Structure 1
């Protein structure tokens, strides 16, 4: 059983927090929230999207990078761990020798839904990512076999849900040619 400290942490304390357990935490209003280890399906889906995004970045010669399981600061004492994010090289350079928690909004964030993250991914992270100006947020839901793409317009997300063989429409990667069935097939062995 893991015991999470009762004391509130500041964002700065969170950046250096290590209880030696190897577990990952998000910081929500100064309180640590334990993140359950992902499933293999989750890892495979993220790996597929990561590889797909990297291919597009290289094909278009963009000065962007992808990262898995990095943090994004979403408030004074809040930080969320992303399954996958796309950032500029400049954003990454700023954190080269610091904790991998982005203070500025990534270009794109992807979260893969698990049974214990439904509310967090669809509701909490949606409002927090919009508040800090993340232009594009994908909620990849293998439970419902749908991908919700949220595009930030005038401070609020406009959402489009993609299923089956519909081509996913992305602002970040406008020439991307993948469909949800490909993403979810990647999660199978």
Structure 2
């Protein structure tokens, strides 16, 4: 599939790598949305007035494109819609999409998306040059943090609800995960 074909769809969202549809997920669950919202508030507030900017889904990201080149939407065969991204190069931010690898990508996984996020997207994000990748598991209230090393995202650490998590691409900024993960009733 190309982006040209995708543009003809009505009311459907999908993600594509190498021209192959990898995900057409239904709307997220409330728990997913709550985590996404709280994380967006924390990161967005910290970035207010700074060069780096945060974006929450839905926003199309052309992973392997170069904003300096004369690219044409219709030929793009790799785009994703991460749950949350941080972009520190303002030239990658266009009116309608992000062109090139974000600095931080956050995916909130579910049982139906875990394989795609753990394998397909993680490998693609590494090849594209994403510097930091978070996989959030709401069911277990865990965040896996991967950092870029030689075009590969490698597991750096795992954080739980009781931890404070640093954002490695941003200096001196940590997030208390008790704010991100809702308290569960026993």
Q: Which runs of 4+ in 1 moved over 6 A?
A: none
Indicate the residue corresponding to 2:26 in structure 1: 36
Question: Which of 141, 165, 183 matches 1:168?
Answer: 165
Match of 2:109 in 1: 113
The CA deviation string for residues 143-164 of structure 1, in whole angstroms up to 9 with x for no partner, is: 2221011111222223211113
**RMSD over aligned Cα atoms:** 2.2
User: After the TM superposition, which of the residue ranges 37-46 and 166-175 deviates more from structure 2?
Assistant: 166-175
- For residues 45 and 78 of structure 1, the distance between their equivalents in structure 2, rounded to whole angstroms, comes to 26
Distance 1:172 1:79, change over 3 A: same
Pick one of 24, 39, 51 that aligns with 1:63: 51
Q: Give how far 1:186 is off.
A: 7.4
Q: Between Structure 1 and Structure 2, how many residues are aligned? A: 170
Gaps of 5+ in 2: 65-75
- TM (norm. structure 2) is 0.81
Matched, 1:73 2:62: yes
Aligned partner of 1:17 in structure 2 is 8
Structure 1, gaps ≥5 residues long: 1-8
SS where residue 123 of structure 2 aligns? helix
* Residues 47 and 54 in structure 2, CA contact (< 8 A), matched pair in contact too: no
Structure 1 range deviating more: 142-151 or 132-141: 142-151
**Is the 8 Å Cα contact of residues 86 and 109 (structure 1) preserved in structure 2?**
yes
